Amino acid sequence: MHRLARCDRCQLFAFLGLYEGRRYSQQEVASRVWDDQLTYLFTLSNHETIDGAKGGNGTRHLNHACDPNCEAVEEYDDAGRLVLKFQTIVPVDAGDELFIDYCLTADDGSPPTDYPCRCGSSNCRGTMLAPAEAA
């Protein structure tokens, strides 16, 4: 089990860590072929993409669930750089696995069945794609 996949007792809004890795511009992302690579891509609102597989940390191992107990939050650090932090959105008991809702987007028009979810939540959408109202 990876370090951040579980935590000791975590209170509401407990800081779990920053998402780290190599940053790419929109142009760099568009010019690369990603099909045969292990990627942990997270695109920020400023259109930079962080690849946690390249210089990342344990936050890249947070799994998806449709009923998550954590969230990703953008903030600016002291140097004015946009960063992505993970925090709990409910109290989490020791040993509980940590999840975020990936809310993926399919730029190529792929159907939701190409991104299956098997989280088992009573609220499971059956896909890791963002809900229609959030997309």
pLDDT, tens digit, 9 for 90 and up, residues 94-115: 888 999 999 998 877 788 999 9
What is the predicted pLDDT for the residue at 62? 93
In a 13 Å sphere around the CA of 44, the CA atoms on its Cβ side amount to 23
What is the predicted pLDDT for the residue at 126? 95
What is the predicted pLDDT for the residue at 5? 53
Average pLDDT, the chain: 89
How far apart CA 86 and CA 15 sit, in angstroms, is: 6
What is the predicted pLDDT for the residue at 1? 39
Q: pLDDT (tens digit, 0 to 9) for every residue of the chain, 135 residues total?
A: 344 555 677 888 889 999 999 999 999 999 998 877 777 999 999 999 999 999 999 999 999 999 999 999 999 999 999 999 999 999 999 888 999 999 998 877 788 999 999 999 999 999 999 988 755
Residues 6+ apart with CB under 8 A from 69: 88, 89, 90, 92, 96, 98, 99
Q: In this structure, are residues 89 and 13 in contact, taking their beta carbons and an 8 Å threshold?
A: yes
How much is the pTM? 0.84
How far apart CA 117 and CA 127 sit, in angstroms, is: 4
Backbone angles phi, psi at 116, to 5 degrees: -65, 145
